[in-house]
Structure 1
């Protein structure tokens, strides 16, 4: 899990996710999967804005807390291969 630290709230999330999507598409990947925790509302909003769909949730214990990890998936153009 990436800690945005001082960048949090300054808008780097959307461009970073766009860069990941563009790279994956150019490399021929079929899909992109982003993982976050349900308590990270800003990360979930970024995923939704980029067109990702929540596909899996799984409880786990991390950083001394009970959390729910989430997999967000985005299918890329048909015909792409990984």
Structure 2
């Protein structure tokens, strides 16, 4: 069991370092397999998205938040430019670091950068299996705009959901 951790014990950096893309891919594969029975295709999907982010990275329009505790990545969030809108992607917290306010802190940092970078809209895709995350998105003004059944890349039947936010 992980000892109690305070939010102030977490270091959040906004740059990618060697090993981050691989570790975030691993963390998604490990956690989503364990908690939601997603398959290897999901891990591959995450890896491809992270590579896409890296290849088109623009420091003025894109951002990562890498959460570390004792030099181990324990959380992650990414803002990726998509034309005039920003896409929220790869929001993940290691289970031992949930419930300390880290998710709320990451989404606040996301919202701050969203405004600072001048975005008027943001969107994200998730699944109906993640009600805790959805509640956090809704508290920040994201609204459900689309639902559709999906199998790929999850390896099982899920309902994908698209949430959108207008900042003006």
**TM score, norm. by length of structure 2:** 0.41
Aligned counterpart in structure 2 of residue 23 of structure 1, from 92, 95, 113? 113
Deviation of 1:75 (Å): 0.5
Is 1:44 aligned to residue 126 of structure 2? Answer: no
Between the aligned partners of 1:27 and 1:17, the Cα distance in structure 2 is 15
Deviation of 1:2 (Å): 4.2
Per-residue Cα deviation, 1:33-57 (whole angstroms, up to 9, x for no partner)? 1221111010111011111111111
Which residues of structure 2 form unaligned runs of 5+?
1-89
Per-residue Cα deviation, 1:40-82 (whole angstroms, up to 9, x for no partner)? 01011101111111111121114322111111111012xxxxx
Cα RMSD after superposing both structures: 1.7
Which residues of structure 1 form unaligned runs of 5+?
78-82
Distance change (3 Å), C-alpha of 1:23 and 1:3: closer
Aligned counterpart in structure 1 of residue 147 of structure 2, from 54, 57, 74? 57
Q: How many residues align?
A: 77
Deviation of 1:9 (Å): 3.5
Q: Which has the higher helix share?
A: 2
Q: Larger C-alpha radius of gyration, 1 or 2? A: 2
Distance change (3 Å), C-alpha of 1:26 and 1:2: closer
Partner of residue 93, structure 2? 4
Runs of 4+ in 1 over 2 A off after TM superposition: 1-11
Partner of residue 80, structure 1? none
Higher RCO, 1 vs 2 (CA within 8 Å, ≥6 residues apart): 1
Distance change (3 Å), C-alpha of 1:2 and 1:18: closer
